[in-house]
Amino acid sequence: MKSLISRMQIVQSPIIPVVGELIKSSPGTISLGQGVVGYSPPVEAIELLPKFLANPNNNFYQAVEGIPSLIDILSAKLQAFNNIKISEENCIIVTAGSNMAFMNAVLAITSPGDEIILNTPYYFNHEMAIRMAGCHPVLVPTDENYQLLPNAIASSISPKTKAIVTISPNNPTGVVYSKSDLQAVNQMCGSHDIYHISDEAYEYFTYNGVEHYSPGSFSGSREYTISLYSLSKAYGFASWRIGYMVVPKHLLGEIKKVQDTILICPPVVSQYAALGALQAKKEYLQKNIGAIAQVRELVLDSLQNLEDLCTIAPANGAFYFFLKVNTSINSFELVKKLIREYQVAVIPGTTFGMDDGCYLRVAYGALQEDTARSGIERLVKGLQTILT
């Protein structure tokens, strides 16, 4: 049998399952790794499932772009929260999570050999999707606090560039980009006739009065802005696999080709659950994100004990901190050591494209306060012992 040679050989292995196997081999490990929340979907999501079951037609394929009732409620949400109006120029497509939305976008707008600009540290699944499509990620650094450098982004645009990707609030750093920087990126996309792909999966997770801005709301941006959203985080919907995207109307046909080939239609039972979730009282999000905000303060306080050993950049969004560790130890080797010897798991910075030092992503969204306290204490103790 001939040895396997395929495009997948240049694609990195997904880190979460790799770290998951290490956790399994060290029972009792507390994970500060995977980016999920620990709370359940709202009761309204479950209450709508009988409506799905009552209609036998729901057992058949439905519209490629999503059921009309869900698209209608998403349209209202986008206008109310994101200041994005759905019109003749744009449209909504429901997807099986925002990772699929990103893949839809990449396949719809590129040809093999094209380039897409990512700001580092990047979200690893974005880099993987670009390579799977036969395209090239062009990596642009951010500043010392992981904020965008618009001039550096502009100088990285080439004739092969098809899109610039921004993630705000950011995974893996937790930073929230300013309105002015997002506008600068959006305007350069318009000027260069390329797309601005805006990943906003953490749109509700902001702290200390910091605001989230959607590039799709900027004047004149509808023709070239692709906005990605997810119910996985805010609504505890990780396994239900429902996200959505707002795209220029001229991309609808191309994206439907991709979605029909891979999925045919988003899971209809999950779409009904999403329809219910989006009708939950506002207290649902306030309560759960408020609890995460409290855990965030606990984690931040504990991390201050590492000031001499790590650089901890300000992070007012998502549920991550991104640490630059003052050591020559490889980040993955450090992760393995923390799991084996201190029973706490984090994610190595190399998977986010950070090869110029040792970086760790700390995720705190999935844990109750007591567990988070124990986990972060193990991390602090482990790093203090290993590095001193």
Radius of gyration of the chain (CA): 21
pLDDT at 186 over 90: yes
Handedness of CA 326, 331, 335, 338 (dihedral sign): negative
Q: Are 113 and 96 in contact, with CB atoms under 8 Å apart?
A: no
Q: What H or E segment, with its residue span, contains residue 310?
A: strand 310-312
Q: Give the CB-side neighbour count of residue 266, counting CA atoms within 13 A.
A: 31
Q: What value does the mean pLDDT take over residues 154-178?
A: 98
Closest CA to 244 of 199, 192, 299: 199
Q: Express as a percent the part of the chain with pLDDT over 70.
A: 99
Question: 140 - beta bridge partners?
Answer: 119
**Residue 182: pLDDT over 60:** yes
Task: Tell me the C-alpha to C-alpha distance, in Å, between residue 311 and each of 93, 145, 306, 308, 314.
Answer: 40, 10, 8, 8, 10
Q: The whole model's pTM is what?
A: 0.96
Confidence category of residue 194, pLDDT binned at 50, 70, 90: very high
According to DSSP, residue 288 is labeled H
CA–CA separation, 162 vs 257, rounded Å? 19
Type of residue found at 16 = I
Say which residue the tokens 């060290």 belong to. Answer: 26
Q: What pLDDT score was predicted for residue 29?
A: 93
Model pLDDT for residues 29-74, shown as the tens digit of each residue: 999 988 899 999 999 999 999 999 999 999 999 999 999 999 999 9
DSSP code at position 173: T
CA 143 to chain centre: 20
pLDDT at 3 over 70: no
Asked whether residue 1 carries a pLDDT value surpassing 60, the answer given is no
Contact status, residue 47 vs residue 276, Cβ threshold 8 Å: yes
Question: What is the pLDDT confidence band of residue 4, given thresholds at 50, 70 and 90?
Answer: low
For 48, other C-beta atoms within 10 Å of its C-beta total: 18
Query: Domains of the chain (ranges plus CATH)?
Result: 7-41+282-387 (3.90.1150.10), 43-277 (3.40.640.10)
pLDDT tens per residue across span 201-214: 999 999 999 999 99
Amino acid identity for residue 266 in this structure: P
pLDDT value for 126: 98
Concatenated DSSP letters for 356-383? SSEEEEEE-TT--HHHHHHHHHHHHHHH
Say how far residue 87 (Cα) sits from the centre of its chain. 26
Reported confidence tier of residue 10, pLDDT bands at 50, 70, 90: confident
Q: 234-274, pLDDT tens digit by residue? A: 999 999 999 999 999 999 999 999 999 999 999 999 999 99
Residue-wise pLDDT tens digits, 107-144? 999 999 999 999 999 999 999 999 999 999 999 999 99
pLDDT at 360: 97
Q: What is the mean pLDDT of residues 217-228?
A: 97
Average pLDDT, the chain: 95
If pLDDT is split at 50, 70 and 90, which confidence band does 7 have? Answer: confident
As a residue count, the chain comes to: 388
351-358 mean pLDDT: 94
Strand partners, 91: 247
The phi and psi torsions of 152 (rounded to 5 degrees) equal: -65, -40
